[in-house]
Homo-oligomer: A and B are copies of this chain.
Amino acid sequence: MTANPPVVSPVRLRAEDRPGQPPVSPGLIEFYEGFEKALLVPLWTEVGALMPLSPQSKAQPHRWDWQTLLELAARAGELVPVGRGGERRAIALANPSLGGKPYASPTLWAAIQYLMPGEDAPEHRHTQNAFRFVVEGEGVWTVVERDPVPMRRGDFLPQAGWNWHAHHNGARQPMAWIDGLDIPFQYEVEAQFFTPGRDQLTEAEHATPDRSRSQRLWGHPGVAPVSQLGETAGSPLLCYRWADTDAALADQLALEKEGHPGVVEPGHALVRYTNPTNGEDVLPTIRAQFHRVAAGTETAPRRETGSSVYQVFDGSGRITVGEFSWSVTRGDLFVVPSWLPFSARSEASGSDSDSGALDLFQFSDAPIFTKLSLFRADSAERP
């Protein structure tokens, strides 16, 4: 046991001659040295940066090109084995203004994961909440609590913290998808636990069913299994299938055409993935939504506290985030930092098969804000 050991104080204070600051004098400088020695920092030198009039994100808007990501992931498939220790062949977006850390935003992790034919990613569990979203391909099963869950284009697979999980690729080609997690958030607030699991899946877990057991229990709209009732922090439904999401979006736009409520604004269908046990967000710290911006539509700019990562699922368009603006196409990812206005415009690609709509998958840290009474948006009418 030790008392406070000798510490080289990291505190550095500068007496500065500016409004709101005490007059600079030798006494003040000496006084500040006392603060440094005593491990103290005054509010009056820090208040502007620490307590801004509105959120000033440490992150910046940025777009990542899907093709580049995919190529690097494929190269990783050759160079990097998947196994215990490294745990996953996952490559994370690093926001350019967050010092090289693997953080898409101050709270969110977004990565491309890649699995070669026949490969398994080893089982583990962690308190970090996670999901998978599939922009292309199929053939991988995520095995959650020994329940193999198929992954196909458009599927969204939430996985609340502390569930055992592994992946296996049962197909003859590689498969890539994106993982979203609250790793940065849990790292910052220091909540995280991790346990490695079994190194091998059983034969039964290598099964490749068309529907998971979770799907069979919870995938029927409004019809819940009595044996499994009870509120859970994360969704017991482990796969939200593309067919359902697509139909929900199409229905909203069709209702709009018929003159009925449904869309959040003209030409903008929006659905939220929810936990069937409580109707709330699908994960304790992560909100997931899907946007369809009809051909020729631009959404109204909207600001929210908290950050989002988007992936273009289909179509092409132009994204504007604060002072940034990019053209995007299938697979591209981009990040929207806290309180920067975001809007999206669909752009027909010209191909015959193209509906002209822009389909965007979004995930954000909104539940952290809503549950702590910190959520704000500047278009208050939309939940």
Contact = CB atoms under 8 A, between A and B. Distances in A.
B338 A86 contact: no
Nearest to A61: B4
B27 A187 contact: no
Copies of this protein, total: 4
Contacts of A194: 51-54
15 contacts: A10-B96, A10-B100, A22-B79, A42-B91, A43-B87, A43-B91, A50-B187, A51-B194, A191-B305, A193-B376, A221-B221, A223-B290, A225-B252, A226-B264, A233-B373
A152 interface: no
Contacts of A231: 279
Given A31-B79, A191-B374, 18 more contacts: A4-B63, A9-B96, A10-B94, A42-B91, A47-B86, A161-B374, A188-B188, A216-B254, A216-B262, A217-B255, A223-B245, A224-B273, A224-B279, A225-B262, A225-B270, A227-B263, A231-B279, A274-B276
A208 interface: no
Contacts of A47: 85-88
Contacts of A38: 64, 68-69, 72
Given A190-B306, A192-B55, A7 B96 contact: yes
A19 interface: yes
Interface of A is mostly: loop
B369 A4 contact: no
Closest 7 CB pairs between A and B? A20-B85, A44-B86, A41-B102, A190-B338, A233-B373, A10-B100, A216-B251
Which range contains the number of A residues in contact with the other chain?
A: 35 or more
Contacts of A230: 383
B192 A326 contact: no
Interface stretch (A131-139, A165-173, A317-325, A350-358): A317-325
